[in-house]
Structure 1
Amino acid sequence: MRSVLDLDRVAADDAQVGGKARNLAKLRAAGLPCPAGVVVPAAALATGNWRSELEDACARLRAPLAVRSSASIEDLSSGAAPGLFASILEVAPDAVAEAVEAVATSARGVAVRSYCLLRNIDPEAVAMSVVIQEQVTDVLATGVLYTRPPSRPDAPTLVVDIEHSDDGPWAGERARDGSGAPVPLPPAAWQQLVDHALAAERAIGAEQGADVEWVIDRSNQVWLAQARPIVHGEEMRPAPIELFQFSHGDDREWSWDVTHNPDPLSPAQAGLVDRVGAIGAGFEMRVVGGYLYTAPSATPAPGAELPDSAGAITRFFTDEIVPAVDAQLAAFERGSEPPLGAALSAYDQVVGLYGRRVAPTLRAGRQPLQQFLAAHSPEANLSQSMTALLATRSDRHLAARIRRVAAGDESIDSLLAYAAPMAPAWDVAAPTFAEDPAPILEAIAAERQRSDKRRPDDTREADAQAFRVRASLDGADERAFESALARAREAHELGETDDHVFFRAQAVVRRALLAVARRWQLERPTDIFYAKLDWVLEHESSPHCPEDFGRLVATARAVRDQQQTTSMPLSFRAGRPRKPRSRGAGLGWRGIGCGGRARGPVLKVRDLGSLREPAHGRVVLARSLSPSLLFQVAGAAALVSIYGGPLGHGAAMARELGLACVVQCHGAWEALADGDDVWVDGDAGLVVPAPD
């Protein structure tokens, strides 16, 4: 067996040379402009008897040379392993042997091992071949072209990402024949690139589309550096327009509660929403396609009268609301498991109390400041001004209490008791922290390990904004502003507490549902959350699991799986989805989406070589994405980068591993800090701030 094979002599099904070499051979066999080259098969590399033969082969190639990997797990339709292995460019003929050894060694890297473990591949079974090709010189432009859009293989479009050119980087989507708005490339070269890329798709048999790396030299000649099948992420379907028909004739804007509920609700949680859709708090809730949407109430919200004295809102909450909530929930929290009917009745009472008493009081607390700002600063954005003035750090936040425990200022037992009814998601199907305190304990441990304890001082920014307002006032106006500001901040502070009240009521319902699951001896107790709430209530007294329960749950889980692949609009009005603004108040940061959706705290990666904290469950924010980052971000919720293209290795890796990803998200690096809670929509290309 020869130790070095010419690419023109590699068979289409030759398993010994790896995916990249086979695809390159197919391109050349189809007559496409792919640079000439050779490959050293894995078996030859293992024997070491390849050097003299390689020297003779390279003498027939034009320098400089590109030395690239062709691993057994690389560039396949089942997985591309993009960018994991080494590639070395500008190699002189007398340095090829050393470059081949370096590329071969990259198969044993930490990133490769992590990728294999995540894909359930035996790392020891990876066989590495190495390709040596002529490198294109005098380059005009380089980039990547996907013959079908990521996650949309049936779409009649292609996507091009120009990584380098005289005009700078550029990315866009065009028709499959290349028509549409001009692309910043010479027109003849652009059409030639499209034609060659589509031919490459056919040549390598990539039925779901081809990922083509290309180079254009200054004579406008297009070269295909490589082509491989696209590994698509989960395809997101546009939401059926029928979902929004109920709002025809309704001029209210229905907004997705994306910061609290980015995922489809369980049937049990949807049932809770249906019970209290209109709670008299100034807004209505509705489940649309499995997702929670809210709109201003169609009827006037109740008002509230407050004494004009400091601490009036706090006293109202402490003296009236807390005892009323305790009267409804305390017995169910401490005693035996409540019947479902009784738990739902208590839930209704607590939510009704919020709508009738708490929400109007908090609204009345904020209203004087809103009216003052509208009268004295009519040119300012009211929403932004209120946000800036009220952005003080609250000791009521769970995150603040975690920091106090880490600093030794509060006991873990006290924190766990407070967090017991809370959960990582606003869904009755989510286990409470009493059931699984691990996320709280991990957060405390991570906080204690922080080398940099400094955090953005929100209170300082809020005080600076207040100072700017005061500077334009005098006398009675300044006193009126101080009074309105104090009351609004008190209302804002207590607004953080109502989340805890809702969690308490939700946890009581969860206890009752799990009690039914135990009585029915369900093999998987969490199935109870996938039956409709009214149905469970109707059958609660049954000593045995009803016969049709399994069918109902299987159907509900399948429906939820479908809902998770539906791309929902951020808002809709009068039966029509509304396109999101690119940079609206509170909307966040826009980039190029690469698929997926997730929520989590930010972890900024300044040095790709090491992470200061575990990435598990975090939204990793980096200036750029590199496959070498992979082994550090295993278990991350999402990846966000400031630079890089949607077709780059980092984005391709995110899709392959099922991570939500947004690239070219300018402004996020400067605006976000470690620990900031964000929601990443890799379909819309948005990173949205979430509540603390």
Structure 2
Amino acid sequence: MSFTIGEAPDRDDLGDYPKVARQHALAARGVRVPPGVVLDLARARAVLRATASERDEALAWVSEQFEAGHALIARSAGCREDREQTSGAGLGMSIPGLRDLSQLEGALAMIEAHGRTLVDVGNLNAERTLMLIQREVPRRALLVVVRGGEPGDRFYVEVHGPGAGPEPLAEGRSPDWAGPLGEWGDDSRAKVESLAAQVSASEGGPHGADLEIVVDPEGEAWLVQARPLTAALHPGWAAFSEAVAREGQQKHMRGSLLFDGEHNPAPLSRAHAWVMRRLGTLRPGRSGDPVILAGWLYVRVLPRELGAHSGEIMSVYDALAWLRDTALPQARVELASFAALLADQPPIRAALARAEALFLAMIDEYVGRLVPARKAALARTAGADYDPGTDAESETAPLSLRARAHFLDVLPAVWDIASPSLAELFDEVDDDEEEHALPESEAAAARLLGEWDDHLFACGLAPLRELWRYAGRRLDIDDARVFLLDGDELVALDEDALALGDADELERELRRRAELLAAQAQLDPPSRIIDGQPLPHPFGGRLRGLAIGEPFEGPIAQRRDLRDLLADPPVAGAVLCIPALTAQAAVALVRLGVRAVCTEYGGALAHGALMARELGLSALIGCHGCTRLAEGTIARVDTRARRLFASD
């Protein structure tokens, strides 16, 4: 059976398919929904192969669309999708850009095969599927619009432009713009707001609504998806905001703040938080303007996205050569000089000033030379992305591993001066690594610069870590606790042993801070905060992410960070779930033989995405919710569906 969307269907089970039922009901009410037809997947391919006289009304409509030059999109609609309690987001499959019947038949075959795969991972209803075949609206922008279920909740939007590819949500692409819908500057905003308000009023559940809207070249808004949210937009906000209020930090939540989960997916030590605050004070506008809220690091601008450079921009090749031949060797000299300084037992004030000066000099070089060079190269090579599987240089060492062995002594397990280096964590270190020529392609050189700049950053942080450890020895405080003190407190204690009270008072305060850090680690920080309100996590859907490599199945292995991973390696064949993969992780992944990984944070430009491609891993990057799955759960990393399926 088949029927046209918005017209009376000749079937009485439409309520079993919420995605189709909503599209049909909204079209019947006059909502701007792309025209289309509905077919049973089980018989649609047979109908396509029938002669013209045997085809029903729905297939006649399809033929008319193709003859008129319209592209179509085939979207599966299962009975588990888009319900109030079980959204099933990601269970379905969509194939856009269809321009003739043979392409449509091929798309239906792919969707049918995908349904059989879902049966293999426990979705017994996968075979109960309808097909939405709709006219594909030419896209000026694809919007994901969400609103919570509480009175006064506002709409938030993620905007993907026409250059984002055919399926930016399924591919886990970063949006071109994200924030409150009311602040989106496009001239179609009023029409989008009207459509969103109309639909969410009827289709939202207790937690709110999740809509996909396409804006066509004329600025008209079309509804392509409507579903109720099955959980609060940010269930951890109450606890997080209470923690911020307890620490008196609400004043720092003005403007737009971005959680830097890609680099610091855990709360900072008090020592590192102090360093970040000092950086923001001493280098305003050149540091991303870091803000620490309840221990978590937020920035107003990611370092790689800092503003335009006013001077001459180095080529990416010159930047790499400068790093290799000048900056990194000089950083080694400075580290040796700082070690010699500490050997003379200087006062902490003087040693801290020197360590901070080395760190700030590194920041100036990093922001002044490396960021502009890489930004310019990435802009020029955006259409020629480096593919390690096909590039002529793929026979050399992967970029994510190249020269790493020479810097294991300074590369921290996590980007925090309280973190030990990889050399401190590895049983043995072999830095006898073959030297490689710089890449010939600009795309590869830009990617390598994104790896090597971490070596310079690590060399800049290393003196600060050594300063805290030196202070611990000088003040008779062990490494486990000295990083609970900030830089001002180290100086104060060095100059007055009773600056923080007597020994018992100091002990109690350090214990309280350790407990606070443990409590902060249990919080769920929002991905963005705008004027004191949380912007929800990326809307692409829970357990969906940027897909890399082949499908993989195995038991979930939850690890908090690289240090945790090295201390407790997962069993062979496990699916590693970790908040983020920093640049340093490539060395550990290769040593441990990890084959599949899912990260909570990250995107197309994250280190995790590059290393997963180069190391041949199966991966989902930015797979929100993966770190909340139970240890040992059997899961399938379905890189074709771009989703992590976990057994119940």
Query: The TM-score by the shorter chain falls in which range?
Result: 0.3 to 0.5
TM-score using structure 1 length: 0.43
User: What TM-score, normalized by structure 2, do the two folds share?
Assistant: 0.46
Larger Rg: 1
